[in-house]
Amino acid sequence: MKKVRSTILILALTVTVAFSQTAPDFTVTDINGETHQLYADYLDQGKTVVLDFFFVDCPPCQAIAPFFETLYQDWGAGQADVEFLSITGDPNGVDDDAKVTQFKNTYGLTSPAVSNEGNGPPTVQLYTDGTFGTFFGYPTFVVVAPDGTVEWDPWVDAGQATIDLIDAAIQATGATGQITAIGDVEDLFEGLTVYPNPSNDIAIIDFELSEKADVKIQVLNMLGQDVLQVFEGNKFPGSHQEQMNVSKLQPGTYLIRVTANETVRTIRFAKSVR
């Protein structure tokens, strides 16, 4: 049974049906001023696109955001053959660039995000008119294959089960997640691991930098809240191991977020029971 995902609902009892229509094209501008055209920039280049329709004051959107970020990182953070776009449908008329930026920072999102100012709501309306299936509220996820085929709204709940469905839908498009080319941009991170994982006291965060960087390491809970500051300061090129004491954290799943200059990577970590 589908759940209520926001205070804005489409009151419909019809069964969700997937139609054969291909995804409508659109052009949006994200909060950083970058433009994104669905076909020219992504589908025509052989990329799969994951659309996340949300709004900033939507509790389920907030709850699932850290899970969505982990999936984004797992599929190459936009550098492989999958791109993720979060686009506001904003039923409250408040999701400007500043509000969406605050949402991203609060819930640990690094994928491109589009506000009202970047043509968000009109773009969402292209997909939520019933063409692809019943729109039940926010968040709504859409996976678009390179041929324009739409997988409409995989959903179980605001947690990992839904992310697993999105992941399966991405795989069904033929995407591999392998980074085949990164142009002239060298990735700051050569790797990011944490061990032992799970741990109940001390864990080591291991990563390598290709150049000098200002580094910040945080531990976030699955609501995107900062629960532990591990390190903040300057790091030189080379391998680094940072000790993390998690003994005071409650048992459960967390995200470790490492920021080096403007590059962000996340990895999942489990605090075990003693």
- The predicted-structure confidence for 172-214, as pLDDT tens digits, reads as follows 999 887 654 433 334 667 778 899 988 999 999 998 898 899 9
Answer whether residue 91 is part of any domain.
yes
Same domain, 142 and 65: yes
For 63, the domain range is: 27-172
Measure Cα distances from 68 to 162, 199, 234 in Å. 9, 24, 29
Instruction: Say if residue 57 is in the same domain as residue 140.
Output: yes
Distance CA(1)–CA(186), nearest Å, equals 46
Exposed/middle/buried for 249, CB within 10 Å: 0-12, 13-18, 19+?
A: middle
Per-residue pLDDT reduced to its tens digit, 135-176: 999 999 999 999 999 999 999 888 889 999 999 999 999 988
Is 114 part of any domain?
A: yes
Instruction: Tell me, yes or no, whether 89 lies in a domain.
Output: yes
My answer on whether 227 and 155 are in the same domain is: no
The reply to whether 74 and 148 lie within a common domain is yes
**Are 108 and 144 within one domain?**
yes
Q: Are residues 232 and 167 in the same domain?
A: no
| Residue 55 sits in the same domain as residue 165 | yes
**160 and 54 assigned to the same domain:** yes
Say whether both 205 and 139 belong to one domain. no
Q: Which of 140, 88, 137, 138 is nearest to 114 (CA)?
A: 88
Beta carbons of 68 and 52 less than 8 angstroms apart: yes
- Asked whether residue 57 is assigned to any structural domain, the reply reads yes
Least confident of 26-30, 52-56, 70-74, 147-151: 70-74
Provide the number of structural domains found in the chain.
2
Domain membership of residue 22 (yes or no) is: no
Backbone angles phi, psi at 226, to 5 degrees: -75, 115
Question: What CATH number does residue 198 fall under?
Answer: 2.60.40.2550
Q: Are residues 146 and 198 in the same domain?
A: no
For residue 8, pLDDT beyond 70: no
The answer to whether the pTM exceeds 0.85 is no
Percent of the chain with pLDDT over 90: 56
